[in-house]
Amino acid sequence: MIGGIDWVRAIKHAEIVAVENIRSDVQPKPEHAMWELMKEAVQVSSIAYSAPPRVGYPSKSSLPDTVDDVSDWQRMAAYLRGELSEMPTGHARPPQPSAEQITRAEAVLAIWHKHALSRKGAKSRIKKAVYMKASGVPDRKVRAVTGMTKQAIHSAKDEAMRDMLCAVRRFC
């Protein structure tokens, strides 16, 4: 799986995205490109592989949470009664990722699980902190959950990206 994708093309794509996303005073490095691949992989996997529904727990009620909260059914009923001029739109779902993005995400996550910070242990709080940061969790929450400092999280992220780059270079 890891050797089955075009890593040169994936890294080039990530370098373009990294240049757009880094601060203007920072020189782009290969670690930045790998970080962009990791962030994309986390996002794509969360969209492509949604979690199964919870079983045995009560589901959210269809009643509004507050008095002012208008449900989708109420908006649709108002449209059918003629009270609204335009048909209400549903909640926007993120677009389904392409097959190339899913394949790239699977390969990046395979490298993440096998090579990144492997000497720290599979259930390491360090790996958890880096994954949470890649999924967009704010630094304050990552620090509260893992008990790590901001500098420790940043250095763990850099170390993980270097580990992943070493693994990718073996396949290029």
% pLDDT > 90, the chain: 51
pLDDT at res. 60: 58
Tell how many helices (H) and how many strands (E) occur in the chain: 7, 0
The overall average pLDDT reported for the chain is: 85
Q: Is the pLDDT of residue 127 over 60?
A: yes
Task: Considering only CA atoms, give the Rg of the chain.
Answer: 21
What is the C-alpha separation between 42 and 72, in angstroms, rounded?
30
What is the C-alpha separation between 129 and 10, in angstroms, rounded?
24
List of residues 6+ apart from 44 with CB closer than 8 A:
97, 101, 102, 104, 105
- If one compares 137 and 24, the residue with the highest pLDDT of the two is 137
